[in-house]
Structure formats: C-alpha cells, structure tokens
C-alpha cells in the first residue's frame, strides 16, 4: 500500500523547484499516515513556462502583451490547438475532417507506478500519456 500520492507534473515541479523562477502552488493533505500532493485549481502548473533561460527579463506589467502571464497563456493555447490540429483524421481529398467535439482537449490515458523509496515510504505516481 502506498503512503505518498502525486502526479507527474507535481513531481517534476518539486524536482525543479530550487532552480525555477516561477512560483508554484502545491497543496499537501495528510490523511492518516498518507500524504496526497495536489495542485491548487488555477495555479501556474497548468500553464507552459516561458522565458526561464532568457538573459533579459520580461515586462512586469500584467496587461503587456509580452509579459510572462500573457506569453504563458499564448504558449499553452497554441500547444493545445496544435495537438488537436495534427491529431485530426484526413479525409480522402486531403481536407481535415470536421469531427464533433473538435474543440475539446485531447484525451490522455494515465498509468500509475509504485516506487519503493524506503521500507516505510512508498510513492504512487500517476503519469499522463497522450493516446496516440
């Protein structure tokens, strides 16, 4: 039986936390002897990061089109739209087919893995995989 539960994105965030310039918001709940790591709704963990390795900083004004939040939102939306566009089935004449639910996010499947950290600590991690 596992004692610690987390997702792949939360584990990656925790591993990168010492070097990250972005804030992160992780909620840890203890239920008995079990720890559950989760993200807060609407946190930056859902967004792609931008400009982490750039030499010059981005504008601080949030309403600026080149600010970090605006670029992060644009990168996330572009990434989601691109994945939807390339996953559509082509019709016989080469035109992309119009399927119902086209604007929905692509489904992912998950896989859980159990890691034995020590005799008392077992981590159950959920990993998301693209269905293609």
Contact between 5 and 30 under an 8 Å Cβ cutoff? The reply is no
SS3 call for 47:
coil
Report the distance separating Cα 15 and Cα 65, nearest Å: 30
Its pTM stands at: 0.63
Top-confidence residue, 11 or 58? 11
Contact between 129 and 107 under an 8 Å Cβ cutoff? The reply is no
- Residue 50 phi, psi dihedral angles, 5° rounding: -135, 150
Neighbours of 13 (CB within 10 A): 21
pLDDT in tens, 16-50: 877 776 677 889 999 999 999 998 887 777 787 78
């Amino acid at each position: 039986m596992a004692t610690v539960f987390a997702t792949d994105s939360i584990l990656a965030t925790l591993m990168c936390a010492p070097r990250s310039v972005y804030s992160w918001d992780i909620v840890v709940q203890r239920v008995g002897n079990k720890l559950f790591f989760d993200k807060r709704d609407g946190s930056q963990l859902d967004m792609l990061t931008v400009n982490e390795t750039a030499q010059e900083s981005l504008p601080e004004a949030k309403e600026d089109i080149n600010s970090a939040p605006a670029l992060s939102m644009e990168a996330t939306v572009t990434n989601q739209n691109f994945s939807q566009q390339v996953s559509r089935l082509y019709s016989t004449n080469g035109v992309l087919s119009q399927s119902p639910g086209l604007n929905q996010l692509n489904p992912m499947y998950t896989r859980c893995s159990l890691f034995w950290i020590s005799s008392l600590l077992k981590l159950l991690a959920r990993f998301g995989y693209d269905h293609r």
